[in-house]
Structures are given as structure tokens and as C-alpha cells.
Amino acid sequence: MLHIRDAVLGDLPSMLRIYNHAITHLVATFDLEPQTIAQREVWFHKHNKNHPLIVAEWEQEVVGYCCLSTFREKPAYNKTVELSVYIDAEQRGRGIGTALLSEILQRAEQLGYHTVISGIVGGNESSVKLHEKFGFTLAGRFQEVGFKFGEWHDVYFYQLLLGQEHSSLSR
């Protein structure tokens, strides 16, 4: 059974494995070199009650994670957050992303956020469909902003306005 819970420091090796796979095989992140535990520990500690980091656990193994991060540092952006979600390569297509987004968006609403932003690299149709399922809409595209695997990539920004009629949050 899939269990969604707050991440703990002991989850870091599993989250690192998932993230490093994305670095070396996907354009979902523009990091170019695998991260170390020490680097990800710094990242881990940027999350707190106002910027939650959650994991999906299947048979006591972390199979995905999702978080809300600061969108921009200026105070007028305080009600806007950026969403990230990563799923184990062997577990994609099993509803883990849906479960994680459902939980994190409920938390975003409870925390009083107004806007959730996601950056999705061009060609990642499964991520686009996942976000659209929850009511995210295309807000814009930055052309050729990331160079990875020998080519330029566009990033599409999707946005969800919270506090409106979004019955999809319970999906």
C-alpha cells in the first residue's frame, strides 16, 4: 500500500538515488553532475513546515518525493511556491505522482499559498498531464534556457491558483 508522509533525514539516500537518476538520464533537472549526500542534506534542510517535503513509500521503500520551495526571495512572492516532484524510474505510471501532488497541494492550500508554479522541460508530457489533472495551466515558456545532453531545452511554466474552485485537488 502506498503511504505518503513527511520526509525524514533517513530518507535522503533513497531521494538522492531518485534525483541522481534524473540528473544522469532525464532533462527533468538541469543539474549536470550527480549530487552527494552532503549536497542533498543542505537542500533537505531548506524544507520546513512552511515548505514541506513529503515522500511516497511503498513496502517501506521511498519511491518518490515532492516538495514546495521558495519561488523567489523577495517578500512580495511569499504567497507563491515552486513545486517539484520526482518518481523512481521503476515506479512511474502507478499513481505515485497523483498521490504526492494531491497531498502537497492540500498542504499548500492549508498553508495559505495563493500560487503554485512548476517548471517542466519541453517533451515531458507525462508531467504536463499530471499537472493539468490538478488544474495547472500553461503560464509561459522560456526558450532554450538549459543545455543538457548536447542540446538546448525549453522550460514551460505551469501555474495553479489556489483558493479557487479546484475540485481536482481531491483526485
The DSSP annotation for 84-142 comes to EEEE-GGGTTSSHHHHHHHHHHHHHHHTT--EEEEEEETT-HHHHHHHHHTT-EEEEEE
Residue 112: exposure state from Cβ atoms within 10 A (0-12, 13-18, ≥19): exposed
In the predicted structure, residue 8 carries a pLDDT above the cut 70: yes
In the predicted structure, residue 152 carries a pLDDT above the cut 90: yes
Residue 85: exposure state from Cβ atoms within 10 A (0-12, 13-18, ≥19): buried
Q: Could you tell me the pTM of the whole model?
A: 0.91
Residue 153: enclosing H or E segment and its boundaries?
strand 151-161
% of the chain surpassing 90 pLDDT: 91
Say if residues 68 and 109 touch (Cβ distance below 8 Å).
no
Cross-strand bridge partners of residue 156: 120, 141
Looking at residue 21, its pLDDT comes to 97
Task: Give the tens place of pLDDT for each residue, 78-125.
Answer: 999 999 999 999 988 889 999 999 999 999 999 999 999 999 999 999
CA–CA distance, 65 with 58 (Å, rounded to integer): 12
